[in-house]
């Protein structure tokens, strides 16, 4: 081999190496461009996302009410809700020559009472047996004896502040000390929260018993730290309630424990492996989230590799047509709508199953082989089934906020408290019920052995 051939061979090797380097760098650039709009990453991870002001090209919206928006005003209190009326009239000398009208300028003002609580002293008389000398004490009601210093309403308020308002025990302690002038220890507040937790247990367990019999369940999970160790908060969302469960596992055994091995409904979830394994092991129907799929395709469409970007944009066009038709289904007859959606689905799958020669494209296309593709389009044939898992993600968002504020829990009792209060908060909101009243009724029922309130519709 002469010098010229050696030089050519060396140049070919260098070109090959440079091409591999370019490909690797392009993939790295694409990975670094991932954010919540083109992947499953949470919005909080978008530390390099351009601000809304920059994205509007300098068009900054003014603060406050926007031009053209309808004004909303609070409705005044009804006469029976007014505790005191103070009338202002002109002195006689100023009102001289004026005719008073039966009309008033009204300003309704809310004020705190002088004292925000009352102290009730419960006394049980003691009796002595003259013969034996034994002391007998008159029995007190269970709710008084079990409540101790804090009554049912104050105990429920502590539970609501801790769970619904994300307040720490120190913050609750400060609230009582500054506003109510009550000095209550953090230990007593902690015991009050645990009493609320025990009171909510029956309602929580009834929902857990009903969960395996639901026809549709949205499922999602997020991280949770207990004593510094990573756990997972699972959310099981139905039209009537949302159930939370904290477990050390993120695997399919949690689904098996909560839904059972004979679950006959449909799971709405993302493409996480635990859901795929559970569906495969127990022959469960799944609706994979189309929103997650769109974000993954958008990531490919934004790739610097032209063949990936071209393929991704074509897939997005098919999905845009599909969802445009879905949102405008009222313009079609039932038969016409089914025919159009079938055509769009076929067109999307035809393009999806012919990926370009790239590992990312082939990996995505692999999901749509054979009958597996139906797990993305089940919403077309199942009435009331949502194509995305957005509803469950919305339910889990307050949990993420609570996690960032409280930094997790410190034991089993804390995890059970979180599961129950999150479930009650989300479900009462979904059922348009007063969550404080539900907690209060549950506490009274637990202390007096009355019937517990139920979250089952």
Stretch among 40-44, 74-78, 99-103 having the lowest mean pLDDT: 40-44
Top pLDDT among 145 and 24 is at: 145
DSSP, collapsed to helix, strand or coil, labels residue 178 as helix
What values do phi and psi take at 424, rounded to 5?
-65, -40
Tokens read off for 227: 């004593």
C-alpha 63/C-alpha 83 separation (Å) is 36
pLDDT at 457 over 80: no
Q: Above 80 in pLDDT, residue 166?
A: yes
Q: Answer yes or no: is pLDDT of 38 > 80.
A: no
Residue 198 is encoded by which pair of tokens? 């025990």
Q: Are 270 and 289 in contact, with CB atoms under 8 Å apart?
A: yes
Structure tokens at 412: 């089993």
Q: How confident is the model at residue 369 (pLDDT cuts 50, 70, 90)?
A: confident
pLDDT in tens, 302-319: 988 899 999 999 999 999
DSSP string, 92-149: TTTSTT-PPPS-----------S-S---------EEE-TTT--EEEPPPPHHHHHHTT
Which residues lie across from 231 on neighbouring strands? 224
**Start-to-end C-alpha separation, the chain:** 86
Query: Which residue, 418, 337, 415, is CA-closest to 380?
Result: 337
Q: Which two tokens stand for residue 354?
A: 């012919």
Q: What is the pLDDT of residue 21?
A: 82
Tell me the β-bridge partners of 269: 288
CA-closest candidate to residue 160, choices 396, 442, 436 = 436
pTM: 0.83
H/E run at residue 76: none
Q: How far apart are CA 447 and CA 257, in angstroms?
A: 31
Dist CA 14 CA 240 (whole Å): 63
Each residue's pLDDT tens digit, 248-304? 999 999 999 999 999 999 999 999 999 999 999 999 999 999 999 999 999 999 988
Instruction: Please enumerate in sequence order all residues whose Cβ is within 8 A of that of 155, keeping only pairs 6 or more positions apart, or say none.
Output: 147, 192, 195, 196, 443
Please state, in angstroms and rounded to a whole number, the distance separating the CA atoms of residues 376 and 266.
12
Judge whether 49 and 35 are in contact, CB under 8 Å.
yes
- Give the DSSP H/E element, type plus range, for residue 167: none
What is the C-alpha separation between 37 and 153, in angstroms, rounded?
45
Residue 311 parent element (H or E): helix 306-327
Confidence at 41, pLDDT banded by 50, 70, 90: low
d(CA 377, CA 373): 7
Q: What is the pLDDT of residue 73?
A: 83
Which pLDDT score, from 0 to 100, does residue 71 have?
79
CA atoms of 72 and 188, how far apart (whole Å): 42
Confidence of residue 69 (pLDDT cuts 50, 70, 90): confident
Over 60: is that where the pLDDT of 419 sits? yes
Among residues 383, 385, 449, 456, the alpha carbon closest in space to that of 423 is found at 456
Q: C-alpha angle 28/30/33, rounded to 5°?
A: 110
Q: Where are the domains of the chain?
A: 290-383
* Beta partners for residue 126, in sequence order: 137
Which residues are registered as beta bridge partners of 21? none
**Contact (CB, 8 A) for 293 and 275:** no
Q: Where are the alpha helices (DSSP H) in 334-411?
A: 334-352, 359-365, 374-377, 390-406
**CB within 8 Å of 4: residues ≥ 6 apart:** none
Which two tokens mark 80?
Answer: 């029976």
Rg (CA), the chain: 31
């Amino acid at each position: 081999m002469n010098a010229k051939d050696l030089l050519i061979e060396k140049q070919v090797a260098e070109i090959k190496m440079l091409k591999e380097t370019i490909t690797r760098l392009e993939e790295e650039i694409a990975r670094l461009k991932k954010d919540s709009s083109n992947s499953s990453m949470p919005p909080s991870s978008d530390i390099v996302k351009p601000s809304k002001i920059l994205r509007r090209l300098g068009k900054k919206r003014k603060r406050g009410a926007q031009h053209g928006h309808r004004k909303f005003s609070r409705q005044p209190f009804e006469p029976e809700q007014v505790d005191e009326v103070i009338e202002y009239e002109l002195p006689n000398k100023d009102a001289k020559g004026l005719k008073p009208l039966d009309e008033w300028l009204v300003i309704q003002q809310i004020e705190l009472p002088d004292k925000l609580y009352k102290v009730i002293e419960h006394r049980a008389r003691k009796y002595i047996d003259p013969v034996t000398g034994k002391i007998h004490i008159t029995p007190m009601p269970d709710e008084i004896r079990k409540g101790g210093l804090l009554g049912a309403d104050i105990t429920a308020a502590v539970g609501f502040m801790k769970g619904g308002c994300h307040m720490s025990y120190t913050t609750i302690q400060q609230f009582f000390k500054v506003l109510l002038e009550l000095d209550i220890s953090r230990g007593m507040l902690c015991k009050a929260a645990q009493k609320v937790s025990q009171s909510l247990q029956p309602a929580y367990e009834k929902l857990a018993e009903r969960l395996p019999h639901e026809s549709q369940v949205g499922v999602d999970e997020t991280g949770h730290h207990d004593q510094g160790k990573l756990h997972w908060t699972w959310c099981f969302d139905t039209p009537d309630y949302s159930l939370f469960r904290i477990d050390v596992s993120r695997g399919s055994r949690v689904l098996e424990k909560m839904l059972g091995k004979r679950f006959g409904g449909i799971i709405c979830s993302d493409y996480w492996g635990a859901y795929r394994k559970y569906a495969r092991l127990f022959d469960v129907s799944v609706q994979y989230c189309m929103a997650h799929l769109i974000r993954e395709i958008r990531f490919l469409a934004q790739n610097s590799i032209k063949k990936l970007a071209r393929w991704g944009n074509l897939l997005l066009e098919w999905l845009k047509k599909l969802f445009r038709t879905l949102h405008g289904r009222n313009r079609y007859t039932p038969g016409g709508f089914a025919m159009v959606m079938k055509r769009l689905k076929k067109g999307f799958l035809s393009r999806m199953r012919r990926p370009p020669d790239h590992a990312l494209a082939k990996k995505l296309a692999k999901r749509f082989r054979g009958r597996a593709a139906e797990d993305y389009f089940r919403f077309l044939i199942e009435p009331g089934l949502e194509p995305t898992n957005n509803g469950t993600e919305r339910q889990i968002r307050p949990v993420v906020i609570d996690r960032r504020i409280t930094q997790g829990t410190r034991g089993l009792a804390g995890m059970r408290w979180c599961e129950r209060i999150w479930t009650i908060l989300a479900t009462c909101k979904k059922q348009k019920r007063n969550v404080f009243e539900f907690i209060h009724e549950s506490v009274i029922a637990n202390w007096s052995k009355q019937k517990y309130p139920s979250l089952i519709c």
